[in-house]
Amino acid sequence: MKTSIRIPIPLQLSLESTLWMAFSWMSSFFIHALPSWDDSPIGGHFIPLFYTPLLIVLLRRNNKVVILSMLIPWINYILLGLPHIEKVVLLELELACFFFFAEILKAKSLSFKFVGPIAYTASLITVGILGSMISYADINILFSIHHVFPAIMNAGIGIGILFFIGFFIESSSKESSKN
């Protein structure tokens, strides 16, 4: 008689989902292991948490993997103690907005190379506006509209990487459609 263990549906992960989560965590982990050239966190320059959601949106993969990749800041916080809890919540909101804007931009048939940079910028602006609205309610928050432009300037390298990810995906999809 064969016995089997039934796992509740929300806990079941496909191999593909597991590999995407591993890629998301590993890219974040290795980039954060690099030394920073200034006193700001290296993740703010390279924005590695946004690579996997962009790849998933552009490659038309299962969107539940994006939701799973949003666990990466929490996993980093649990394993490494970084980023600080306030930043984890902020990153979650930024990732959710990024995914939302990336899906809209892809649906509008925008060139893939612009989806990542525009979605990232729009997510920062959205979070900044929300943060400013909350700060007017005398709640101390980590991010407001005043932080948007410096955050965008700080993430220039990462925005460039998002551009090249989109460029590569768009180029390879054009090549495969020619064959």
Predicted pLDDT at 163: 97
Predicted pLDDT at 142: 56
Predicted pLDDT at 117: 97
Residues in the chain: 179
Predicted pLDDT at 102: 95
Predicted pLDDT at 129: 84
Among 156, 133, 54, 142, CA closest to 101:
54
| pLDDT one digit per residue (tens) for the chain, 179 residues | 555 555 455 545 677 777 888 888 888 888 878 888 888 788 889 999 999 899 989 988 766 777 777 888 888 888 877 788 878 888 888 999 999 999 999 999 889 999 999 999 999 999 888 877 765 555 455 566 678 888 889 999 999 999 999 999 999 887 777 76
Q: For 154, phi and psi rounded to 5 degrees?
A: -65, -35
